[in-house]
Amino acid sequence: MTDVWRRVAAALLAVSLLACNGSVANSTPGAVPEVAATELPAEARATIEQIRTGGPFPYRRDGVVFGNFEERLPIKARGYYREYTVRTPGAKDRGARRIVAGKGGELYYTADHYNSFRRIKEP
């Protein structure tokens, strides 16, 4: 079996698992776990407040478009998401923590520079 056919077989297996199961582990785009805003670090709660009030923002890149290229958030049109820095005490740069805001008002937190996200539940 050639390498191409092995990849095709693996893709077909994944599709059939999805059809039987409804999901494939947590790899489904848009399947984002939740976290209460009160459980986030104080710096993240401060960033949420800045987002809700329109700033001012401490970093020049705050508010730029977040591309969602890895599709870890629900898939939306380009420009739907904006990213904001969450201060990291002791970091000499912006650090890895961010909040990504959707145009619909939803917020997502990442502590590992977009490798994983949790949707923020606000009261």
3-state secondary structure the chain: CCHHHHHHHHHHHHHHHHHHHCCCCCCCCCCCCEEEHHHCCHHHHHHHHHHHHCCCCCCCCCCEECCCCCCCCCCCCCCCEEEEECCCCCCCCCCCCEEEEECCCCEEEECCCCCCCEEEECC
Q: Which of 34, 71, 113, 122 is catalytic?
A: 113
| Catalytic-residue membership of 113 | yes
Q: Which of 71, 83, 106, 122 is catalytic?
A: 83
Q: Which residues are catalytic?
A: 83, 113
